[in-house]
Structure 1
């Protein structure tokens, strides 16, 4: 993931044991976003956080660290559980992002 982040002018640093990558192609991918969320400032993939830029990484650090801990807790089940929680929320007519329990936990810490 790190070499990918460094393409097209991206850079990576380690902050409190978590790799934070920003810029370059990472910014472009985050601006495209995910179908159920849209564009975003940052996303967590295990112990790696991708952010559009340093300001995004700084402002989302607490939120994204919750996701790092969720990855540690759930391991390889995290992504399927996260996606299933979004699907259940959507099927119930709720917001698949904001009403996802993994996101609610992260927002409780960061808002």
Structure 2
């Protein structure tokens, strides 16, 4: 069953690999956590260019790209829920997510915070 989930999400994982690959030329580091490739773009949180990114972490299939390793650790439960969403939806998730944001905006709601995929991922977070 695990092979099917990886295969179903593989096109999205390929997108993540392609997007993250150039970062390795500039010092990005990867480690596997529970079958997910977590890629930290920088070891230093104070790297100025990181503040210009429109995200702290983003998921594509079984690839999570985060600004730093600390960000990846802090957001692991949230981002790994997105991995499970990719496993359920497969490649159509690449369209379903932005369409859900558009739907929320058309309803006068917040595109990111009210996106049901984000609501579901936030529900998996542990607040200490």
Which position in structure 2 is the counterpart of 1:50? Answer: 65
1:16 pairs with 2:34: yes
When the two structures are superposed, what TM-score results if normalisation uses the length of structure 2?
Answer: 0.74
Q: How many residues are aligned here?
A: 103
Q: Is the 8 A contact 1:5 1:21 kept in 2?
A: no
Which position in structure 2 is the counterpart of 1:69? Answer: 84
When the two structures are superposed, what TM-score results if normalisation uses the length of structure 1?
Answer: 0.84
Name the structure, 1 or 2, with higher relative contact order (CA <8 Å, separation 6+). 2
Unaligned 5+ segments in structure 1 are 34-39
Structure 1 counterpart SS, 2:65: strand
Unaligned 5+ segments in structure 2 are 1-16
List structure 1 segments (4+ residues) > 3 angstroms apart after TM superposition.
27-31
Structure having the higher Rg: 2
Task: List per-residue Cα deviations over 1:43-98 (Å, max 9, x = no partner).
Answer: 00100000000110000000001000000000011010101000000111111001
Structure 2 counterpart SS, 1:76: coil
Shift of 1:41: 1.4
Which position in structure 2 is the counterpart of 1:31? Answer: 52
C-alpha separation in 2, matches of 1:31 and 1:101: 26
